[in-house]
Chains A and B, each alone.
Chain A
Amino acid sequence: MKVENQVILEFPSRSANEGFARAAAACFAAQLDPTLEEVNDVKTAVSEAVTNAIVHAYPDKLGKVVLKLRIKEDHALEIVVKDWGVGIEDVDQARTPLFTTGSEERSGMGFTIMESFMDTLKVRSTPGKGTTVTMSRKIARRAGR
């Protein structure tokens, strides 16, 4: 599917960047004229994916996180969150609701929320190399626009 527009953002895995990342995604998505609910769904999913990279990929140090936002020709928003951190040994287990290796601030519901708020979610991970989360959400075309 052809990419109509894209931005690529790179930032260190500081928790202060969670808010920045979801706000950037919301601003970029505005080109698709989404409803408030669609924007909130995108912000929530981005927050989860970026927080995972910040908390789990780099547990003891700061590392690089890349957020790619793409608009595809079918009026879909594709979001890629990539890190070069510790990776996930068992992706299926990580995607299980309530499973977490994090501390008490993590509920283990991050992937569940990404799955329910986006249309598609793919997780590729290699232990020791990093993780790439790719998700997409079609934004409805609104009548009269």
Chain B
Amino acid sequence: MPVKCREEQRRLTAWVEGELDHHRAREVMEELDRRIDVAQPRELTVDLSGLTFTDSSGIAVLIRAHRRMGQVRGAMRVVNAPSQAKKVFQAAGLERLIRFE
């Protein structure tokens, strides 16, 4: 599952697509870490419009990206989360930590 990224004026957008489970989580985390480290963005937008499935691995990925953005003093938001993903994130209370739009 590729993580497509686009950066413009220190605003980084990452599209996480396909199925996100434990099998793919490490790869996605490492790619997001690398992109954040290189771009040092003021804001990270994670676009989940192409995400077809996630389980609690998706929670771990978002928490890690959120922590990383905190280290570079940037903001983070998640957009276009499909209903299946939203339900998983809500079960974990993730909206208390991360901004969903």
B-contacting residues of A (Cβ < 8 Å)? 15-16, 18-19, 22, 37, 40-41, 43-44, 47-48, 51, 54-55, 97, 104-110, 112-113, 116-117
Contacts and interface: CB of A to CB of B under 8 A. Distances in A.
Interface string B79-101: 00001100110011000000000
A105 B25 contact: yes
B40 interface: no
B64 A104 contact: yes
B60 interface: yes
A40 B84 contact: yes
B91 A47 contact: no
Interface residues of B, number: 22
Interface string B31-58: 0000000000000000000000101110
Contact of A44 (B23, B63, B88): B88
Interface of B: 19, 21-23, 25-26, 29, 53, 55-57, 59-61, 63-64, 83-84, 87-88, 91-92
A34 B50 CA distance: 23
A48 B88 CA distance: 11
Contacts of A110: 55-56
Nearest to A45: B55
23 contacts: A18-B22, A18-B23, A40-B83, A40-B84, A44-B87, A47-B21, A51-B55, A55-B22, A97-B92, A104-B60, A105-B25, A106-B22, A106-B60, A107-B56, A107-B60, A108-B56, A109-B56, A110-B55, A112-B91, A112-B92, A113-B55, A113-B91, A116-B91
Contacts of B22: 15, 18, 51, 54-55, 105-106
